[in-house]
A and B are shown apart, each in its own frame.
Chain A
Amino acid sequence: MPLAEHLDLHGGFLLRGYGGDRGPTMLIDAVERAGLTGHGGAGFPTARKMRAVAGRRRPVVVVNAAEGEPASRKDALLTRTRPHLVLDGAVLAADAVGAPEVIVALHTGPSSVRAAISERQAAGIDPIAIKMVHVPPDYVASEESALVRFLSGAQALPTFTPPRPYERGVNGRSTLVQNAETLAHLALIARHGDQWFRSVGTPTAPGSLLMTVGGAVQRPGVYELAFGMPLSAAFDAAGGLTEPVQAVLVGGYFGAWLPAETALRVRLTPADLIAAGAALGAGVLLALPASACGLAESQRVTSWLASQSAGQCGPCTLGLPAIAEDLALLSRSGNTTNVRNRLQRRLRLVEGRGACHHPDGTARFVASALQTFAADLARHRRGNPCPPSRYPVLPLPDDPRRP
């Protein structure tokens, strides 16, 4: 959306409305009252992250639009179709924390960000410099510490923390890393206020979220849903299910499988999903048709996740391939209790033992697969595996069937 159209739709750029001595604090206060939390996966309160950076010497704001999750398309869609809303949020956040510079980090590919930055420069609306950087496509490259390290001129690999980015970020400067969608919400809070933001959602999970909905649905794509709606509303938004569904992957590849009957009833709030054994993650929902094999699907993704280890931490570098192999063994006929016990032990073994959460996320994904597809495991063991499915449901990079 071009700048003029964007301003027509959302109204004038309101940085000035938050200007003056009390200005920056006003915005952070509004974001806090709104209850905005991060939409990148961790769900950390945005205002608290902003306060940690505000007032430090020459901080940097990083827009994390480098969506590493292969099943997620929301940030790519947002930066392609609504770049100005994301940039408004970034500039507002930068002004609020006293940062003279914004860096937009994203993958190569179709993007309107560069054009949008030029438009804004020509219009002279931003008192803050915005630059754009392309991030390598690796899964862990968009992890916060890896991103900061990459933007400081090194390889995009996670680092040992502390220091956290707010303490020592890009080139040693205090850094606020925010997901692209989070900043779009922030731009709307700055325009319409925290009461408006809270007019949808629930008191404890206010606002709305973008969800990438895929699998056995009529129209796979990105949909905006209010927090608190039943998860089935996301499938309704995507035109409904195309065939009976056995399970739903919630949150993406660091998320968890839920059996269909649990998933369709659960409400879309962080607390409800955690109580059900899943998490919102980056807002991914994948409906697994009854005709697919959940074990084969999970095994394929687990092997890919193992290949995406940065190779820095032993328990991740050695543990994830071992886990992927165990899962492959279990999916074959004649799988033994031995292998299953070893896999369960290894899942516990890798948890919390990496510099980043890659091993934890992979372990959670596999553990949920073992639980949700327990009946399939038993059938496979008796030498009665699922019939091969027509095509894989879970998308991986370089897969032409990617939704």
Chain B
Amino acid sequence: MTVRLRVNPITCQAHGLCAELLPELISLDEWGYPLLSPEPVPPALMEYARRAVADCPTLALLLTED
């Protein structure tokens, strides 16, 4: 099972918290909106990814499984 990051672009308000909490997988574009790594979240970063998802002020960051 592979876990990836996904963002709901409608609810995302460019707070940028996710990029602070998970810079390994998330950077911000010139407008402050997150650019997510398309790669699976490595197990070593899973805890930080969950934390970033939980701390998003608009709950726009998601983890998807496929």
5 tightest CB-CB pairs across the interface, nearest first? A313-B9, A314-B33, A318-B31, A312-B10, A160-B8
Q: Check A315–B10 contact: CB distance below 8 A.
A: no
B12 at the binding interface (Cβ < 8 Å): yes
B22 at the binding interface (Cβ < 8 Å): no
A159 at the binding interface (Cβ < 8 Å): yes
Question: Which residues of B have CB within 8 Å of A314?
Answer: 9, 12-14, 31-33
Q: Check A159–B10 contact: CB distance below 8 A.
A: yes
Interface positions, chain B 17-66, Cβ under 8 Å from A, are 29-33, 35
> How distant is the Cα of A316 from the Cα of B31 in the complex, in angstroms?
11
Q: Check A160–B9 contact: CB distance below 8 A.
A: yes
* Shortest CB distance B65–A (Å): 13
> How distant is the Cα of A355 from the Cα of B13 in the complex, in angstroms?
14
A48 at the binding interface (Cβ < 8 Å): no
Interface residues on A, range: 10 to 19
Question: Which residues of A have CB within 8 Å of B33?
Answer: 314-315, 353
* Shortest CB distance B17–A (Å): 15
A283 at the binding interface (Cβ < 8 Å): no
A255 at the binding interface (Cβ < 8 Å): no
Question: Which residues of A have CB within 8 Å of B30?
Answer: 349
A83 at the binding interface (Cβ < 8 Å): no
A319 at the binding interface (Cβ < 8 Å): yes
Question: Which residues of B have CB within 8 Å of A319?
Answer: 31
> How distant is the Cα of A315 from the Cα of B8 in the complex, in angstroms?
12
* Shortest CB distance A231–B (Å): 35
Q: Check B10–A313 contact: CB distance below 8 A.
A: yes
> How distant is the Cα of A314 from the Cα of B14 in the complex, in angstroms?
8
Interface positions, chain A 302-360, Cβ under 8 Å from B, are 312-316, 318-319, 349, 353-355
* Shortest CB distance B50–A (Å): 20
> How distant is the Cα of A349 from the Cα of B35 in the complex, in angstroms?
9
